[in-house]
């Protein structure tokens, strides 16, 4: 089934490149129309009711997030397109949304479209709303952030401060929360290392990442071990020992 799609991108050359790539490599995408700013973009969304929008982050007359705030509801998926890998990319990752960086990599584009296609098959409009709401809250909120955690059943939204530690589980990650629960998340630990490393988390072992704020003690050893507030003991690799101890000092 074709995915009704709108491209919102201010640069004509970028629109043409994306259009050509989608036509050649993502035949399931049906491009309804293209827009060069958020004013045209909002009108097109209201008129055509797309299933997917490719949305450039930085544009004239406001950015992608200004457009999102103007919409009454989000009943479509968004793939953000940007030349910038900045704070906004953190917020996008926290919300488990998709983005591709310019210049567009064909494999990344195909993967993003495939994931969107899989989610559209579930037809859960409230999921789109929750993910987008989390994204906007994280952009606007200087305090505690929220993270959307994709699970086998759907996803869960948790406060970042409620995460104690994470454990690699092949292509999944086990999340251990303050309330004692364990969540099996459909992303690798490497993904969360990139997303959370500047938010008070540290990967202290190839299989473990911890919330530094919840370490209660360190035990010496080749790499050593840390104990967390819930009593969990987590190994530290020898290669990460100095980085961890430097954080304490």
Enter the pTM of the model.
0.75
DSSP 112-142: HHHHHHHHHTT--HHHHHHHHHHHHHHHH-S
Residues 156 and 182 in one domain: yes
Asked whether residue 14 carries a pLDDT value surpassing 70, the answer given is yes
Asked whether residue 226 carries a pLDDT value surpassing 90, the answer given is yes
Q: Which domain holds residue 244?
A: 147-248
Residues 199 and 160 in one domain: yes
Asked whether residue 139 carries a pLDDT value surpassing 90, the answer given is no
Domain harbouring 210, CATH code: 2.40.50.1020
What would the mean pLDDT of 50-70 be, rounded to a whole number?
Answer: 91
Q: How far apart are CA 172 and CA 187, in angstroms?
A: 5
Q: Which of 139, 171, 192 is the last residue of a domain?
A: 139
> What's the total number of domains in the chain?
2
């Amino acid at each position: 089934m074709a995915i009704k799609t709108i491209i919102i991108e201010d640069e004509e050359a970028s629109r043409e490149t994306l259009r050509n790539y989608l036509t050649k490599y993502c035949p399931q995408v049906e491009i309804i129309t293209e827009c060069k700013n958020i004013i045209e973009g909002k009108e097109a969304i209201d008129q055509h009711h797309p299933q997917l929008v490719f949305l450039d982050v930085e544009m004239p007359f406001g950015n992608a997030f200004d457009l999102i705030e103007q919409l009454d509801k989000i009943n479509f998926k968004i793939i953000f397109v940007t030349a910038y890998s900045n704070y906004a990319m953190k917020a996008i990752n926290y919300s488990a949304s998709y983005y591709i960086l310019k210049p567009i990599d064909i494999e990344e584009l195909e993967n993003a479209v495939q994931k969107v296609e899989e989610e559209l098959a579930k037809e859960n409009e409230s999921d789109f709303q929750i993910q987008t709401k989390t994204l906007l809250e994280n952009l606007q909120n200087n305090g505690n952030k929220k993270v959307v955690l994709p699970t086998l059943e759907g996803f869960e939204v948790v406060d970042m401060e409620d995460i104690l530690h994470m454990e690699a589980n092949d292509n999944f990650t086990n999340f251990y929360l303050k309330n004692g629960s364990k969540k099996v998340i459909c992303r690798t630990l490497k993904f969360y290392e990139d997303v959370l490393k500047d938010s008070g988390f540290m990967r202290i072992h190839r299989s473990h990442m911890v919330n530094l704020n919840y370490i209660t003690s360190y035990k010496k050893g080749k790499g050593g071990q840390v104990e967390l507030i819930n009593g969990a003991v987590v190994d530290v690799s020898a290669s990460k020992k100095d980085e961890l101890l430097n954080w304490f000092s």
